[in-house]
Chain A
Amino acid sequence: DTGVSQDPRHKITKRGQNVTFRCDPISEHNRLYWYRQTLGQGPEFLTYFQNEAQLEKSRLLSDRFSAERPKGSFSTLEIQRTEQGDSAMYLCASSFSGRDGELFFGEGSRLTVL
């Protein structure tokens, strides 16, 4: 499978714990995006990378959230001290720069904070 893969697909954690999600983009893609989606809503932009550089981070993202893409390939999204309001689907997408709108999404990592 050469699509975008995300791991884990589901994560249940207790409030206050840290969680980390991993995204492996399509190998030729230089852009990688993280979105958050709650039930009945559209994906909400969190951050994106071009190669290893983090180009923008949403103001909605608190200091508890951090994302990395150390070698310009896979990326991780970490949430520290999780809160119940962090429960959502975390979506990763990748693209070629120059094909800006054509994002290829993974199937997401669903987080449930108890």
Chain B
Amino acid sequence: GESVGLHLPTLSVQEGDNSIINCAYSNSASDYFIWYKQESGKGPQFIIDIRSNMDKRQGQRVTVLLNKTVKHLSLQIAATQPGDSAVYFCAETRGDDKIIFGKGTRLHILP
């Protein structure tokens, strides 16, 4: 089916530590994956994307890892800051332009 889900609904991380947010997808035809961040009261904001022909992509303080064998996607945030507090969504497409979002993980930053 078109299921894009997440392992954990909430994640608490100490400020300065690294955060890892996980996502499982079920459709092996998915070929493009995206991570979005949504702060309270705002629309989602694009963070980083990865195509299925890659297994790793790095941005500024963020890294996305893709394991197609187990249909698993993760977002790593280095040196987590208070401004990283938000809900994070993984999303997927399957060659069309319809982007399907998962349920989200809320990231709490502990002082």
Contacts and interface: CB of A to CB of B under 8 A. Distances in A.
Contacts of A31: 97
B89 to A, nearest CB: 5
Nearest to A55: B97
A95 to B, nearest CB: 9
A56 B99 contact: no
Task: Give the bracket for the number of chain A residues in contact with chain B.
Answer: 20 to 34
B32 A105 contact: no
B99 A107 contact: no
A16 B101 CA distance: 30
Interface in A15-47: 31, 33, 35, 40-45
Contact of B45 (A45, A97, A100, A105): A105
Contact of A44 (B33, B101, B104): B101
B91 interface: yes
Contact of B46 (A33, A97, A103): A103
B102 A45 contact: no
Contacts of A102: 34, 46, 49
Nearest to B34: A101
